[in-house]
Structure formats: C-alpha cells, structure tokens
Structure 1
Amino acid sequence: MIRKAFKMYLKAGCADEYEKRHNELWPEMKAMIHEYGGHNYSIFLDDETNILYGYIEIEDEEKWAQSADTEINRKWWKYMAPLMRVNPDDSPVSDDLRCVFHLD
C-alpha cells in the first residue's frame, strides 16, 4: 500500500456541514473509492485553522489518479465546493504532505 497525506482548506463556519456530508457519504462514492484502490481513508480538521488533513492508503498511484475523472467524483466535488477552497474544476485545493516518520 502507498500511504498518502494531504491538506485541504475548509471555509469558515462550514465544519458542521462538512462533517454531516461525510457522515452521509453516498454509497456510490464509497464504492468508487474502493474500486480505485483507496483504503483506510480518514480526514481530520484543525478547528483553529479550518485546515483539513487527509490520510489514505492506495494500491496504485495511476489507478487512484483515474478516480478524479469518474462521474460520481465530479458530482461529489460539485456538492462539496460551497464548503471548501476549490480549483476551477471544483476539485478541492489540496497540498500533499511529506512523510517524515512512520512506525507500524
């Protein structure tokens, strides 16, 4: 498995709605994440900064990258766009984080 970590940026006042939408994650979105090799996915929020920290384990970088172009993923991005800083295609503004320590 490949471990990936990243940060995204939540708009002020949107934390409760962001959490609610993820607690109600669409079954099709869950299925797509698994279909494209995503496992053990978590997102954490720093309430002081509104920065979201994501962690996911993926099977293959290329396969995971293809998930961005699925219809369900584009629909999810559009649904979440009002709550986050996004790019022109509604994908979340996201910065990869470098792993500096890991212990199994």
Structure 2
Amino acid sequence: MPVQRIGQSIRLRREYVDEYIKIHSEVWPGVLKRIAGSNIHDYTIFYDKQSSILFATFKYTGTDFDADMKAMAEDEETQRWWKVTDKMQESLNEGATSSVDGGWWRALDEVFHVE
C-alpha cells in the first residue's frame, strides 16, 4: 500500500500557546512509541499565530488506518496525553467532544503534492 499523507487542523486556545509548545518539546516516550506503533511517521505540527490554528501533517504507512487509530485511542498513556492537550484545543468539527471520541482534529483534503 502506498504511503498516505494526512493533513489535519484544530484551533489552539491562545491562553495555552506557551504550554502547548513546551509540552511538545518533551512528548512522553509512550506517546511517541504508540504513534510509531500506529504506523505514523514524519509527524509535524505547525502553528499559525495569526489565526491560532494548528496544522498537523504526517505519513501513514500501515494497511488499516481505522485499526491503527483505534489502537492509539485505546492506549492509556495516549489517553492521558490527550486529557492534557484537549483542553488546550478547540475542535473545528461541530459536535466533536474529545480526541478519544474521534473527529477532534479536522481532516484536510490534499490538493497538491510533489516529491
């Protein structure tokens, strides 16, 4: 299966900018292990100060995206991480309640790519 490039966005609450940046300089080892275990690679999060939007991009190299995301959502350390980060974010998806429930970050459509 070819590599899938994924793009996502979410709003960062302005009162948490410094804290969000700080914790992402020290991501918990178990969270990083789960990300890799869910076949996610080359994961980057960008921040737009003007709009307070976070943009995440990563490559998915697995064969069952839904199963890999389910494994991530069921991981206890990842759930603890999300409890910390979810309060700092505001979903752009109407009705979204948390990372654990899914649909927290808005999926974006790829419109251009060149290697």
Task: Report how far residue 11 of structure 1 moved.
Answer: 0.5
Task: Report how far residue 24 of structure 1 moved.
Answer: 0.7
Letter in 2 for 1:98: D
Tell me the SS of whatever aligns to 2:55: strand
Where has structure 1 moved over 2 Å in runs of 4 or more? none
Cα distance between partner residues in 1 of 2:68 and 2:57: 14
Cα distance between partner residues in 1 of 2:7 and 2:86: 20
Task: Report how far residue 15 of structure 1 moved.
Answer: 1.3
Cα distance between partner residues in 1 of 2:86 and 2:113: 32
CA contact (8 A) 2:4 2:60 kept: yes
Q: CA RMSD in A?
A: 1.5
TM-score w.r.t. length of structure 1: 0.89
Cα distance between partner residues in 2 of 1:50 and 1:20: 16
Structure 1 unaligned regions, length at least 5: none
**Pairwise mapping of residues 10-89 of structure 1 onto structure 2 (< 5 A)?**
10-60=12-62, 61-66=65-70, 67-85=72-90, 87-88=96-97
Structure 2 unaligned regions, length at least 5: none
Cα distance between partner residues in 2 of 1:49 and 1:78: 23
Whether 2:95 is the aligned partner of 1:93: answer no
Cα distance between partner residues in 1 of 2:41 and 2:67: 13
Tell me the SS of whatever aligns to 2:27: coil
Task: Report how far residue 13 of structure 1 moved.
Answer: 2.4
Per-residue CA distance 1:2-51 (angstroms, 9 max, x = gap): 11001011101221111101101001111110011010000000101110
Identity %: 27
Cα distance between partner residues in 2 of 1:72 and 1:7: 22
